């Protein structure tokens, strides 16, 4: 598995969108309820002039370069320090992840494992 080096020109909202997409896709089935929850979270917490659609497009370009969950988890771990600069932001991220996981009313084992891995990474 090759790793991709990516230069980020992202906002906090980009990183949040990325993490939420990773969690939603961990069960290989991104549900419409999960996408609606992500859009609502991003739209209600967007402090930029970048639209949700543009954020999602920017994030999808990176996700397409990372076919394996291990690459996505490593990417999160490597870049979290750029966006999660205090405990409030970390707690906010974890709350958002939990909201996305339960949005489809089914917690898949893959989602739960990804959630645990990302939560651990975010809080280290």
In a domain, 2, yes or no: no
| pTM for the whole structure | 0.89
Mean pLDDT (whole number) for 58-69: 93
In a domain, 23, yes or no: yes
What count of residues does the chain have? 124
CB atoms within 10 A of CB 55: 24
Asked if 76 and 19 touch (Cβ cutoff 8 Å), the reply is: yes
In a domain, 106, yes or no: yes
pLDDT at residue 115, rounded to an integer: 82
Distance CA 13, CA 19 (A): 10
Distance CA 43, CA 97 (A): 15
In a domain, 74, yes or no: yes
In a domain, 77, yes or no: yes
**Tally of domains in the chain:** 1
In a domain, 7, yes or no: no
Please give the residue range of the domain that contains residue 91: 12-123
Nearest Cα neighbor of 17 from 78, 63, 49, 85 is 63
In a domain, 6, yes or no: no
Mean pLDDT (whole number) for 67-90: 92
Q: What is the CATH number of the domain that holds 71?
A: 1.10.3680.10
pLDDT at residue 2, rounded to an integer: 47
Q: Is the pLDDT of residue 48 over 60?
A: yes
Distance CA 7, CA 27 (A): 27
In a domain, 1, yes or no: no
């Amino acid at each position: 598995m090759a790793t991709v080096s990516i230069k980020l020109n992202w906002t906090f909202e980009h990183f949040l969108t990325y993490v939420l997409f990773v969690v939603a896709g961990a069960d290989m089935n991104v549900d419409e309820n999960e996408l609606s929850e992500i859009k609502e979270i991003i739209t209600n917490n967007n402090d930029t002039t970048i639209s949700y659609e543009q954020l999602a497009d920017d994030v999808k370009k990176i996700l397409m370069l990372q076919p394996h969950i291990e690459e996505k988890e490593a990417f999160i771990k490597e870049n979290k320090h750029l966006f999660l600069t205090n405990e409030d932001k970390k707690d906010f991220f974890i709350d958002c992840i939990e909201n996305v996981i339960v949005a489809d009313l089914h917690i898949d084992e893959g989602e739960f494992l990804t959630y645990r891995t990302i939560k651990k990474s975010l809080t280290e």
